Amino acid sequence: MKCLRQLPLALGVLLASACGSSEVPSEQLAKSEAAVRAASEVGADSTPQAALHLKMAKDRLATAKSLNAKGDHDSASALLDEARVDAELALSLTREQQAAQRAEQAKQQTGSIGE
């Protein structure tokens, strides 16, 4: 009889442990960190629009790490994806700005050669 009273408790504990998500995959964290690092290395801080997205990526990455440490792995995983996307956008915006600057320089150089 005593075993029957403890059965619901044991089932509850078993279900709770089975439904909980595991820690954020290290590969996902590494990809997000690498994207932030890549955007920083190409100079995203010097392009206003890219700098905004890089800051958002860094903030989301920090929040994701904190949530992961607190056990909120699902939210951390979602924020890591958002951080990676923001960092990739910052990288693209920076490269676009740099390409536009190179194109303008080439245009000016060809203009001065024709004179």
The pLDDT profile of the chain, 115 residues, written as one tens digit per residue, is 444 455 454 444 444 444 455 788 899 999 999 999 999 999 999 999 999 999 999 999 999 999 999 999 999 999 999 999 999 999 999 999 999 999 999 999 887 775 6
How many Cβ atoms are within 10 Å of 72's Cβ, its own excluded? Answer: 16
Nearest C-alpha neighbor of 75 from the set 62, 64, 86:
64
pLDDT given at position 115 = 60
Q: How far apart are CA 61 and CA 112, in angstroms?
A: 47
Q: What DSSP string describes 73-92? A: HHHHHHHHHHHHHHHHHHHH
pLDDT given at position 110 = 85
Domain annotation for the chain: domains and CATH numbers = 25-113 (1.20.1270.390)
pTM of the model: 0.75
